[in-house]
Amino acid sequence: MADSDISRILPRVLIVSRRSVRKNKFVDFVGEYHLDLIVSYGAVPVIVPRVNGVHMLLESFEPIHGVLLCEGEDIDPSLYEAETSSLSPDELEEIRRLHASDTAIDKEKDSIELGLAKLCLERNIPYLGICRGSQVLNVACGGSLYMDIEKEVSKKCPEEHRVRHIDYDDYDGHRHLVNVLENTPLHDWFKDSLEEDKMEIWVNSYHHQGVKRLAQRFVPMAYSPDGLTEGFYDPDAYNPEEGKFIMGLQFHPERMRRPDSDEFDYPGCPKAYQEFVKAVIFYQKKLNSSTSVPKPIVLNQEMEKQRKVILRSFSLAKNIYSTRRELHPSKESELEAGAEFLESNTALSLQQENRLKQMGATVRNSNAYIERLKLNEEREKLARSVMGKMSVEQLSDLMSFYHMMGQICSEVVGKKLQGIVNDTAGA
């Protein structure tokens, strides 16, 4: 297979960039570990730039086979109705000072990412949220966040259960324990690294906020000793081999690597990306199978001429039905093409063949056929009497029903006729 063919068939994973400042100019970036893993497992990362107005252009990034959202600033508290009454103005100011790089709200990034998260939830597009991406997913489903873990969680915990969730002096090396829950994807990925009597792994941590109220649709996969949810998923939307994957991880498995090495802390670290991309690939296959459109048949000049003659014949017959007018003698010969076409087709069941022959007779002599289909006066009188006793609403419903039936019949007949044309063209 040529490289150009591969580039067309690989599924697309959207990743929203993070904005930074370099040499007094904004620069958008995505961590290379995310990109490397997505590519290595068989998908194409498509970077959605954090540029003003992009949240209104998300349809331009179609087709979307998966969404990976990762690091970034704090989510605007107004989006999850944060209860700030427990934090004093001095505490809020201290939070802004300690976490200056994270507390600068980026409303455009919020709009882009929440828009993508909701799109995934509506269409069941595979979604993997890492760190901020997990928080976006929770907020998109109605959950809430702690504005600051140290102020709202750590102070209420016994000292032996307190966890340091961010260490600016040891950014990459800092780890803390989490307890993995059984019968979850996370347990399946890390089970070979868990001790028999302990369900614990050490994870990295780069955040001062976290899940406060987990949205109802999600099930936790891991907790830190202070009770903070470190991972969750939707069990009803998780089956990678069926293209289903909705998950949030507070830690960064892609960065859990040994010092000065690309070797992972645990063999299970890349599993989230591997299973995510597996779901993306299956989602693309499912999407393609449901939206595939057969290629149109190209007719040669002679067949195209015959097709137009037949369509003209059907058009005349339709006009006779709808207007109930007599056909001008000069036009009668034009009905022959449609009648002969319908009557000569034998690649059908006996019932279909008889029905098409009836249609052929109708095309050949529409006036006579209409007369045979007319209701006799007694039945018509009875029908009018019954309908005269019906309410306006009932009559309206009846009209809607028959209008719908007429549309369905028209569509089905159209498809059958198109199939006959295609079979004839391929013969």
Domain residues of the chain, as ranges? 12-291, 296-351
Average pLDDT on 159-183 reads 86
**Per-residue burial over 360-395, b = 16 or more CB atoms within 10 Å of its CB, e = otherwise:** bebbbbbeebeeeeeeeeeeeeeeeeeeeeeeeeee
Q: What is the pLDDT of residue 150?
A: 83
Pick among 3.40.50.1700, 3.10.450.40, 2.60.40.10, 3.40.50.880: CATH of 12-291: 3.40.50.880
Q: Mean pLDDT, to the nearest integer, of 158-165?
A: 83
Of 236, 241, 203, 246, nearest to 222 by C-alpha is 203
pLDDT single digits (tens) 190-231? 999 998 778 999 999 888 889 999 999 999 999 999 999 999
Q: With helix as H, strand as E and coil as C, how does the chain read?
A: CCHHHHHHHCCEEEEECEEEEECCEEEEECCHHHHHHHHHCCCEEEEECCCCCHHHCHHHHCCCCEEEECCCCCCCHHHHCCCHHHCCHHHHHHHHHHCHHHHCCCHHHHHHHHHHHHHHHHHCCCEEEECHHHHHHHHHCCCEEECCHHHHCHHHCCHHHCCCCCCHHHCCCCCEEEEECCCCHHHHHHHHHCCCCCCEEEECCCCCCEEEECCCCCEEEEECCCCCEEEEECHHHCEHHHCECEEEECCCHHHCECCCCCCECCCCCCHHHHHHHHHHHHHHHHHHHHHCCCCCCCCCHHHHHHHHHHHHHHHHHHHHHHHCCCCCHHHHHHHHHHHHHHHHCCCCCHHHHHHHHHHHHHHHCHHHHHHHHCCCHHHHHHHHHHHHCCCHHHHHHHHHHHHHHHHHHHHHHHHHHHHHHHHHHHC
* Rounded CA separation 117/137 (Å): 6
Which of 6-15, 33-42, 162-171, 342-351 comes out lowest in average pLDDT? 342-351
pLDDT for res 240 = 96
Instruction: Report the candidate in 104, 111, 166 with the shortest Cα–Cα distance to residue 136.
Output: 111
Q: Is the pLDDT of residue 379 over 80?
A: no
pLDDT value of position 7: 47
Q: Report the 3 state secondary structure along 180-227.
A: ECCCCHHHHHHHHHCCCCCCEEEECCCCCCEEEECCCCCEEEEECCCC
Cα 153 from Cα 164, distance rounded (Å): 11
pLDDT of residue 4: 47
Is residue 347 pLDDT above 60, yes or no?
no
Q: pLDDT band for 369, please (50, 70, 90 cuts).
A: very low
Question: Tens of pLDDT along 259-303?
Answer: 888 899 999 999 999 999 999 999 999 988 876 555 556 667 777
* 24-38, 47-61, 103-117, 303-317: range with lowest mean pLDDT: 303-317
More confident residue, 308 or 10: 10
Annotated active-site positions, please?
131, 252, 254
Greater confidence (401 vs 244) lies with 244
pLDDT at 244: 96
Q: In this predicted structure, what is the pLDDT of residue 363? A: 55
More reliable by pLDDT, 284 or 311: 284
Q: At what angle do helices 32-40 and 271-291 cross, to 10 degrees?
A: 60
> How much is the pLDDT for 357?
59
Instruction: Find the range with the poorest average confidence among 142-156, 236-250, 256-270.
Output: 142-156
Indicate the pTM of the whole model: 0.67
Token readout for 339 is: 């009648």
Per the structure block, which two tokens stand in for 45? 């990362």
Interval 367-392 mean pLDDT: 65
Contact 265, 256 (CB under 8 A): yes
The per-residue pLDDT for range 318-335, each reduced to its tens digit, is 777 666 666 666 666 777
pLDDT at residue 163, as a whole number? 87
Mean pLDDT score across all residues of the chain: 80
Look at 403 and 348; give whichever has higher pLDDT.
Answer: 403
